[in-house]
Amino acid sequence: MQAFVRRMLAPVLTITALSFTATIASAFTGQPKPQLSIEAERSPQGARITFKGKNWPAAARIKLTATRAPASTKPQDFGIIDADSTGTFTVRKVAICTTQNQEDGALETVTFTAADSATGVKATATARGNAWVCQ
């Protein structure tokens, strides 16, 4: 019976030790992982996109891109922006509408990427393609 209990407890103790090790390791890595959030809405000018980022290095230069919009043939490039001294940013960009088809907008998603130009660290976010449907 004691051998059975030891065999059952060994995996539990190993998992607990691994969790504790992961917690300690994350405490030493410092800054939390950079994040990106997106709000995309349709406007007469096209897709109005608000990019919000946090946990980036102070004054980081961030390149903003996205996969192709519905009915488009190429990816989107929104340029480079600067994070502020706290590692956050909020910026609004407008992309031209790319489709008249409501179904394209409803079914397709666009994946956005923010990449630190110095380190290559990336964060992504997605949005439905509805904002790219022409009004």
Q: How far apart are CA 13 and CA 130, in angstroms?
A: 50
Q: How many residues does the chain have?
A: 135
Residue type, 63: K
Give yes or no: residues 87 and 55 share one domain.
yes
41 and 93: one domain? yes
User: Given this model, what pLDDT does residue 31 score?
Assistant: 73
Number of domains the chain is built from: 2
Whether residues 97 and 112 share a domain: the answer is yes
**pLDDT (mean) for 21-40:** 70
Two structure tokens written together for 31: 């800054």
Same domain, 53 and 22: no
Identify which of 93, 57, 59, 62 has the alpha carbon closest to the alpha carbon of residue 78: 93
Q: What is the CATH number of the domain that holds 104?
A: 2.60.40.10
Question: What's the pLDDT at 7?
Answer: 53
Does 49 have pLDDT greater than 90? yes
Q: Count Cα neighbours of 36 within 13 Å in the Cβ-side half-sphere.
A: 24
- What is the chain's mean pLDDT, rounded? 85
Q: In terms of domains, do 61 and 13 share one?
A: no
Q: Cα(1)–Cα(118) distance, rounded to whole angstroms?
A: 59
Cα distance between residue 104 and residue 97, in whole Å? 12
Q: What is the pLDDT of residue 5?
A: 46
pLDDT digits (tens, 9 = 90+) for 87-111: 999 999 999 999 999 998 999 999 9
Of 28-37, 45-54, 99-108, 124-133, the poorest mean pLDDT is in 28-37
Domain that holds residue 8: 1-30
96 and 126 part of one domain: yes
User: Which residues are bridge partners to 123 per DSSP?
Assistant: 114
* DSSP 8-state symbol, 98: -
